[in-house]
C-alpha cells in the first residue's frame, strides 16, 4: 500500500517549507531513514527521511515549490504500484510532524448533528484526556476537550502533584531533624506548620501546571469546553445540559472518584476524602487514616511530620498490600519510627461524632479518637459522563475496552481510570496515546507489562514487574538483593535504610521484577523499566557502567547478585 511523503512540521512556527531538491527519483529504491529530499524552512535547511522501505512512486511537487506543512508531496510503495492520482489535500489545521502524520486518518461516518462539529471530542481533561487530545490534534484531527472541573484532572489538582508537594515539605522537616548528626546545630528545633501557607504553596504548584496544560491545548489548536459533559448515542456531547458539540469519534476519559464504604457514621463532618484533606487549613491534633494504601500512608507520613498524631487503620494484614511483603514491612517499621500508630487486620464497626471529636469503633480494642478522619480506601471509575449510554461495563463499574482502548461502541475509546486496568497517571498517558492513535485509524495495543508503581514516603517504595511469589508460579527464579547500607552515596546521604530486590529467570537471565525500598526509588525504577522493556538480561546489566558514587549502583549490584556476580557482596557458594 502506498504511503505518503509529507512536508514535515519542523517547529511550532513553521507553516510552509520549500523543496530545494529531490535526492531520489521516481523508481528509486529507498530504505527507512534514508534521506529522500532537502527542504528549506524560515530557519534552516534539512533533509527529509523515508518513513518506510519501498520505491519512490511519485513526486507531487518539484524543486522550488513552497508547500504547506504536512501536505502530501509524494508517495512510497511497492515496486510497480500505482500511486493515488492527483495531489492529496493539505489538512485544514495541520498539527503533526512527519512521524506522527504517518497514522491513517479516521474513517468518516455519517455526519453528527448538534453544535460545533469535530473529528474527535475528548470527555475529561485529566492525564488520559489531555494527552489523548494532544495526540489526536497532532495526528491531524480537529479536536475538543470537555472538562467539568480543572484541566489536569485528579492527578494534577487533587492527587499526585499536591500530595508530592506536601511530602516535600515533610522531607524538609525530616532533614532539619537529622541535621544535628552532621554538625549543623540549630538554636531551637521546635517548629510549627502554618497549614494556610502549606495549602498556598500547593495551590501555586498546581496553578503553574494547570496553566501549562492550558497552554498545550492552545498551542495544539484544541478547543476546551468548561462544564459537565454527557455523551449521547448520536455522538453529541451535551455540556451542562445546554450546549452541544458533535464528534466523529469520542474518547471517554472520565477519570475516577473517591471510593466510599457503607458504615454507620461515614457521613460525619469529621470524615474527609483524599480530595478534602489537601485543602485543610487547620492542622488536626489527631488524624485517623482509614486505609493503608498509597494515599493513606503518604498522607499519614506528611501530617505526622507537620505535627499531627496519626493512626493508620488497615483491614488487610499489611499496609500497601500491592507491594512486595518485604517492602511493606520496611515501610511499616519506618512509619512506626516516625511515631505513626499502624494497625493491621482491623474491622471498623462505626464512626461516632461527639462534639468536636469523632471516634472510630473497632471490633477489637478501644475506639480511636480523632479530630479528623481521612477515608482513603482507593478510587473507582467515574462514569457520570456516560450515564444512559449503552456501553459495556463490568461488574465492578469499569468500562470494558479491548487492548486498543476501544469500547463496545465502534466510535468510542476509554483510556485511563475509566477502564480500571491500571489506575496510575503514567499508565493513563500511555493508554491515551494508544486510544488517540486508534481513533485515527491505527492499530496500537496496550500491554501494561512494565508499568511502575511508586510510593513517595520516607523511604520511598517502587516496583515493576512480577513479585517473587508470582514469578515462582511460571519461572525458575533467582533472587538478587543489595542493601543501601552497602551503597556509598546512600550512606553519605544518611539514607542507608532499605534495599533493592531483583527477580530473574535463573535459566535465561530475564529480569522479571524489580522492587525497591530506599532513597530515590521512584527515580531508579525507571532504569529498571527501561532494562526490562529493552529485554536486557541480568548477564548484560553488570557491563553497563554506572556513575560512582550513585544510588543507581545498588540496582546494578542487585541485578548482578541474582546471577552471583555482585562485586560488592561476599562471593556466593
The residue from 174, 426, 443, 548 that is catalytic is 548
Amino acid 269: pLDDT: 93
Other CB atoms within a 10 A radius of the CB of residue 532 amount to: 19
Nearest to 159 by CA among 389, 454, 434: 454
Question: How many whole angstroms separate alpha carbon 223 and alpha carbon 134?
Answer: 11
CA distance 281 to 549: 41
Instruction: Supply the pLDDT for residue 52.
Output: 82
271-273 β-sheet, strand order: 271-273, 372-375, 286-290, 309-313, 341-343
Domain covering 103-256+378-451 assigned CATH 3.50.50.60 in the classification: yes
For CA atoms 523, 125, 430, 7, give the dihedral sign: negative
How far from each other are the two terminal CA atoms of the chain, in whole angstroms? 59
Rounded to whole angstroms, the Cα distance separating 411 from 248 reads 7
Top-tier CATH class for 3-92: mainly beta
Residue-level pLDDT, tens digit, the chain, 573 residues? 788 898 887 665 577 889 999 999 999 999 988 899 999 876 667 888 888 889 999 999 999 999 888 788 989 989 888 887 654 443 333 433 433 444 444 444 444 456 789 999 999 999 999 999 999 999 999 999 999 989 998 888 988 999 999 999 999 999 998 888 899 998 887 899 999 999 999 999 999 999 999 999 999 999 999 999 999 999 999 999 889 999 999 999 999 999 888 899 999 999 999 888 999 999 999 999 999 999 999 999 999 999 999 999 999 999 999 999 999 999 999 999 999 999 999 999 999 999 999 999 999 889 999 999 999 998 999 999 999 999 999 999 999 999 999 999 999 999 999 999 999 999 999 999 999 999 999 999 999 999 999 999 999 999 999 999 999 999 999 999 999 999 999 999 999 999 999 999 999 999 999 999 999 999 999 999 999 999 999 999 999 999 999 999 999 999 999 999 999 999 877
The question of whether 546 is a catalytic residue gets the answer no
Domain ranges of the chain: 3-92, 103-256+378-451, 271-377, 459-561
- What is the spatial distance between Cα 3 and Cα 57, in angstroms, rounded to a whole number? 9
- In the three-class reduction of DSSP (H, G, I as helix; E, B as strand; rest coil), residue 359 is classed as strand
Contacts of 212 (CB under 8 A, 6+ apart): none
Q: What is the DSSP string of 252-292?
A: E---EEE-----TTTT-TTEEEHHHHTT--S--SEEEEE--
Residues 6+ apart with CB under 8 A from 526: 452
Question: Cα dihedral sign for 550, 552, 556, 557?
Answer: positive
Only one residue has cell 557491563, namely 543
- Residue of 373, 348, 370, 374 whose CA lies nearest to 361: 348
DSSP category for residue 21: E
Task: Check for a shared fold between 3-92 and 271-377.
Answer: no
**Cα radius of gyration rounded to whole Å, the chain:** 27
Residue tagged 459495556 (cell numbers):
392
Question: Which residue's entry shows cell 475529561?
Answer: 124
Look at phi and psi of residue 381 and say left if phi exceeds 0, alpha if psi is from -120 to 50, else beta.
beta
For residue 426, the model assigns a pLDDT of: 95
> Which DSSP state fits 44?
-
Q: How far apart are CA 65 and CA 61, in angstroms?
A: 6
**How many whole angstroms separate alpha carbon 517 and alpha carbon 327?**
6
pLDDT of residue 43: 60
> For residue 342, what is its C-alpha cell?
499502624
CATH code for the part of the protein at 271-377:
3.50.50.60
Q: % helix / strand / coil in the chain, to the nearest 5?
A: 30, 25, 45
∠ CA 299-305-309, nearest 5°, is 80
- Rounded to two decimals, what is the model's pTM? 0.78
Identify the CATH class of 459-561. alpha beta
Amino acid at each position: 500500500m502506498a504511503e505518503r511523503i509529507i512536508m514535515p512540521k519542523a517547529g511550532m512556527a513553521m507553516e510552509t517549507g520549500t523543496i530545494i531538491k529531490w535526492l531520489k527519483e521516481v523508481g528509486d529504491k529507498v530504505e527507512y531513514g534514508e534521506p529522500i529530499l532537502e527542504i528549506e524552512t524560515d530557519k534552516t535547511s534539512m533533509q527529509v527521511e523515508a518513513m518506510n522501505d519501498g520505491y519512490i512512486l511519485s513526486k507531487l511537487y518539484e524543486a522550488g515549490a513552497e508547500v504547506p506543512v504536512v501536505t502530501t508531496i509524494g508517495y512510497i510503495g511497492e515496486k510497480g504500484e500505482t500511486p493515488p492520482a492527483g495531489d492529496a489535500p493539505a489538512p485544514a489545521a495541520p498539527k503533526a510532524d512527519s512521524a506522527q502524520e504517518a497514522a491513517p486518518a479516521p474513517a468518516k461516518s455519517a455526519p453528527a448533528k448538534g453544535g460545533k462539529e469535530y473529528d474527535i471530542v475528548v470527555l475529561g481533561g485529566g492525564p488520559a484526556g489531555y494527552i489523548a487530545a494532544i495526540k489526536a490534534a497532532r495526528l491531524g484531527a480537529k479536536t475538543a476537550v470537555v472538562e467539568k472541573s480543572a484541566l489536569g484532572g485528579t492527578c494534577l489538582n487533587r492527587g499526585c502533584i499536591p500530595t508530592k508537594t506536601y511530602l516535600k515539605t515533610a522531607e524538609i522537616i525530616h532533614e532539619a531533624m537529622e541535621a544535628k548528626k552532621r554538625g549543623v546545630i540549630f538554636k531551637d528545633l521546635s517548629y510549627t506548620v502554618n497549614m494556610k501557607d502549606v495549602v498556598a504553596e500547593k495551590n501555586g504548584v498546581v496553578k503553574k501546571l494547570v496553566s501549562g496544560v492550558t497552554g498545550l491545548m492552545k498551542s495544539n489548536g484544541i478547543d476546551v469546553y468548561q462544564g459537565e459533559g454527557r455523551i449521547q448515542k448520536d455522538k453529541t456531547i451535551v455540556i451542562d445540559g445546554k450546549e452541544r458539540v458533535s464528534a466523529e469519534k469520542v474518547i471517554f476519559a472520565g477519570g475516577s472518584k473517591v471510593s466510599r464504604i457503607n458504615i454507620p457514621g461515614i457521613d460525619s463532618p469529621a470524615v474527609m476524602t483524599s480530595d478534602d484533606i489537601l485543602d485543610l487549613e487547620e492542622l488536626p491534633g489527631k488524624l485517623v487514616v482509614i486505609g493503608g494504601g498509597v494515599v493513606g500512608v503518604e498522607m499519614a507520613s506528611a501530617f505526622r511530620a507537620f505535627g499531627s498524631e496519626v493512626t493508620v487503620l488497615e483491614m488487610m494484614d499489611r499496609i500497601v498490600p500491592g507491594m512486595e511483603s518485604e517492602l511493606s514491612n520496611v515501610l511499616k517499621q519506618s512509619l512506626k519510627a516516625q511515631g505513626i500508630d499502624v494497625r493491621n487486620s482491623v474491622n471498623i464497626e462505626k464512626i461516632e461524632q461527639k462534639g468536636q471529636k469523632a471516634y472510630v469503633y473497632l471490633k477489637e480494642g478501644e475506639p480511636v479518637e480523632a479530630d479528623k478522619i481521612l477515608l482513603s480506601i482507593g478510587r473507582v471509575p467515574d462514569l457520570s459522563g456516560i450515564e444512559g449510554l449503552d456501553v459495556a461495563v463490568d461488574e465492578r463499574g469499569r468500562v470494558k475496552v479491548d487492548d486498543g482502548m476501544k469500547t463496545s461502541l465502534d466510535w468510542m475509546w476509554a483510556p485511563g481510570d475509566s477502564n480500571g486496568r491500571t489506575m496510575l497517571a503514567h499508565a493513563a498517558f500511555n493508554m491515551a496515546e494508544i486510544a488517540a492513535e486508534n481513533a485515527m485509524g491505527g492499530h496500537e495495543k496496550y500491554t501494561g507489562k512494565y508499568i511502575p508503581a511508586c510510593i513517595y514516603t520516607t523511604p520511598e517504595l517502587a516496583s515493576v514487574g512480577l513479585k517473587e511469589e508470582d514469578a515462582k508460579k511460571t519461572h525458575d527464579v533467582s533472587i538478587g538483593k543489595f542493601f543501601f547500607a552497602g551503597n556509598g552515596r546512600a550512606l553519605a546521604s544518611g539514607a542507608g535504610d532499605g534495599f533493592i530486590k531483583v527477580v530473574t529467570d535463573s535459566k535465561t537471565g530475564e529480569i522479571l521484577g524489580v522492587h525497591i525500598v530506599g532513597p530515590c526509588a521512584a527515580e531508579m525504577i525507571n532504569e529498571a523499566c527501561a532494562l526490562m522493556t529493552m529485554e536486557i538480561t541480568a548477564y548484560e546489566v553488570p557491563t553497563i557502567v554506572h556513575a560512582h558514587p550513585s544510588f543507581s549502583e545498588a540496582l546494578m549490584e542487585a541485578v548482578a547478585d541474582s546471577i552471583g556476580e555482585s562485586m560488592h557482596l561476599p562471593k556466593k557458594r
